[in-house]
Structure formats: C-alpha cells, structure tokens
Amino acid sequence: MLELDSVTAGYGKAQILNGISLTVPEGKIIALLGGNGTGKSTTLKVAAGLLQPTGGEVRFAGERLDGVKASKVIERGLCLVPQGKEVFAAMSVEENLVMGAYHRRSDKAGIRADLEARYAQFPALRDLRSRAAGYLSGGERQMLSIARALMGRPRLLMLDEPSAALAPKVVEQIAQIVLDLNDSGLTVLLVEQNVAMAMAVAEHLYIMRDGRIAFDRPITAEDEGTDDLKAFYLGQDYG
Ligand SMILES: Nc1ncnc2c1ncn2[C@@H]1O[C@H](COP(=O)(O)OP(=O)(O)OP(=O)(O)O)[C@@H](O)[C@H]1O
C-alpha cells in the first residue's frame, strides 16, 4: 500500500536518508525501529509529504506521492501522528478532533458521526471533550492525537513513537488500540524505540541505521526474548 523506493532526503545540505526502501502492505502493521537520530521520523515526514525527497520514489495505493503536498497526502488517506503528542493546547479536546477532519469540513453530519465513533473508542476523550487540550496528561494527549488523525479517515496511519514517555499501563493501552484499529481494517506503520511494544503488535520489522534499512524480517512466535533481539538488532548505538 505504501512503498518507499531508494528514497533520499535531508535538511539543507545534510542528507539524512541514504536510500530507504520499505513496503507497508495493506492490512498489516509494520514496525520501523532504530537508534536515536537514524532517520525514522524523517522517513515518516517524507511519506506524509512534510519533507520532499531529493531522490527515489514514494508510492501510495499505486500512485506517486513524492511531490504531493502534505494536505493532499491526508486527503489520499495517509495520515501521520507525529512524535511528541502535539495537540492544539488552547483548543478543547473536541475542537482538536474536529481539526483532524479539516479537509472535509463541509461534511458536518459525517464529522458528527465520526466524533461519536471516536468517543466510543476513546471514552476518556468524551469526558474531557470541553477541556483545553493543554491540560491533558501525556497519555490523554497521545490518545487525542491518534483520535484526531482518525478523524481524517485514513487508510494508513503512521505513528511516530506513540509509547514515548508513557507509563507501562498506558503503553499497553496504546498497543491494544493499534491492534484494534488494525482489526477494523487500518494499515499501520509504527516507529518505535520500545522494541517490546513494536514486537507485540507488528508482523514485520525494519531496522534503520545511518539513514538506511540495515535489514528487515517477519516477526515470529519465537521472537519472545526481546532483550536479546534489542541487543542483536539495534546494537550498541541503541538509545
Ligand atoms: N528540521 C530539521 N533540520 C535539521 N536537521 C534535522 C531536522 N529534523 C531532524 N534533523 C536531523 O536529522 C537526523 C535524523 O532525525 P530523525 O528525527 O529522523 O531521527 P529518528 O530516527 O526519528 O530519531 P529519534 O528516535 O531520536 O526521534 C538527526 O541527526 C536530526 O538531528
């Protein structure tokens, strides 16, 4: 569904991605892991149209995506939940959710129905709907940023380190949400530092090093000893 083929990209003169190739098949959860600063977020930014590649190709549902603006990428069904649990702090929870449907803002009935669906899925957000998002806890903000992305009706959701700086119990909830979303048909590309969480939900693993995919392979039932895997796959530079 999403394909990156020999993608290069960077910031100014600094090239960060040195030829990334990866595939996210429809209906799957794919994990992208790697140490700090290896280019995972940059890869997601390129796929989301927030950063244009300097070379290679990005394809989504068979169509070229490189050169397409971020707002149009969302309309095509590819949505990024960025790192950092960013929300519009001064806006209420509900206003944040409505912003997620900005590109179909004239569809008032559809947005109302989607709000109800998100509140059913994230009951805590219903209780907090009038609260300024800046007052939410880290876990609540992460739920809100995922729910806001879902308001855009994505076919593929990219999550950038959704478990960062959250308590283990909240990480478990997020993992379950990712699995539930996938059960309901959503394809997921998950960037994580939390190897155990990624291994628990994903079917296939890509490991990045120095702006490249160092290797990839399916995750199997034998992959339980994640500590060994962490050391083996991520090496000394794992942050
Ligand atoms: N806007 C920017 N301008 C310049 N350099 C940047 C910018 N964003 C990221 N970088 C640099 O690009 C490199 C890759 O960053 P990126 O955020 O993609 O890594 P990452 O693998 O997601 O790391 P982490 O796990 O720490 O978030 C880093 O060296 C970072 O300093």
- Quick check: is 126 in a domain? no
* pLDDT attached to residue 238: 43
- Quick check: is 117 in a domain? no
What letter represents residue 68's amino acid?
V
Alpha-helix residue ranges (DSSP H) falling in 32-189: 40-48, 70-76, 93-99, 108-121, 123-127, 138-150, 168-183
Contact at 8 Å (CB) between 32 and 190?
yes
**Is pLDDT at 233 greater than 80 in this prediction?**
no
Alpha-helix residue ranges (DSSP H) falling in the chain: 40-48, 70-76, 93-99, 108-121, 123-127, 138-150, 168-183, 195-201, 226-229
Rounded to the nearest angstrom, the distance between the alpha carbon of 124 and the centre of ligand 1 is: 32
User: By alpha-carbon position, which residue is closest to atom 26 of ligand 1?
Assistant: 36
- pLDDT for 206-215, tens place per residue? 999 989 998 8
pLDDT confidence of 97, banded at 50, 70, 90? Answer: very high
In 3D, which of 10, 66, 69 has the Cα closest to residue 41?
Answer: 10
CA distance 179 to 99: 25
CA distance 188 to 146: 12
Contact at 8 Å (CB) between 11 and 53?
no
The encoded tokens of residue 127 equal 């209780």
For a ligand 1 pocket test, name from 7, 8, 11 the mutation site with the most ligand atoms within 8 angstroms of its C-beta: 11
- pLDDT for 129-154, tens place per residue? 999 999 999 999 999 999 999 999 99
Question: Ligand 1 pocket: which residues have CB below 6 Å?
Answer: 11, 14, 16, 34, 36-42, 83, 193
- pLDDT for 26-72, tens place per residue? 999 999 999 888 999 999 999 999 999 999 999 999 899 888 888 88
- Quick check: is 139 in a domain? no
- With tokens 């030829």, the residue in question is 19
Calculate the average pLDDT of the chain.
Answer: 89
- Quick check: is 186 in a domain? yes
CB atoms within 10 A of CB 56: 17
* pLDDT attached to residue 225: 58
User: By alpha-carbon position, which residue is closest to atom 28 of ligand 1?
Assistant: 37
Number of domains making up the chain: 1
The encoded tokens of residue 228 equal 């060994």
The CATH number for 227's domain is 3.40.50.300
Q: What is the span of the domain harbouring residue 67? A: 2-86+153-234
Average pLDDT estimate for 149-167: 93
**Is pLDDT at 15 greater than 70 in this prediction?**
yes
Instruction: Give me Rg for the CA atoms of the chain.
Output: 17
- Quick check: is 197 in a domain? yes
pTM reported for the whole predicted model: 0.90
Beta bridge partners of 7: 20
**Is pLDDT at 228 greater than 70 in this prediction?**
no
Contact at 8 Å (CB) between 203 and 30?
yes
User: By alpha-carbon position, which residue is closest to atom 17 of ligand 1?
Assistant: 41
State the closest ligand 1 atom to the C-alpha of 36, by its place in the atom list counted from 1. Answer: 26
Rounded to the nearest angstrom, the distance between the alpha carbon of 121 and the centre of ligand 1 is: 32
| pLDDT more than 90, % of the chain | 64
Rounded to the nearest angstrom, the distance between the alpha carbon of 41 and the centre of ligand 1 is: 7
**Is pLDDT at 239 greater than 60 in this prediction?**
no
- Quick check: is 161 in a domain? yes
For helices 168-183 and 138-150, angle between their N-to-C axes, nearest 10 degrees: 10
- Quick check: is 166 in a domain? yes
- Quick check: is 147 in a domain? no
| pLDDT more than 70, % of the chain | 93
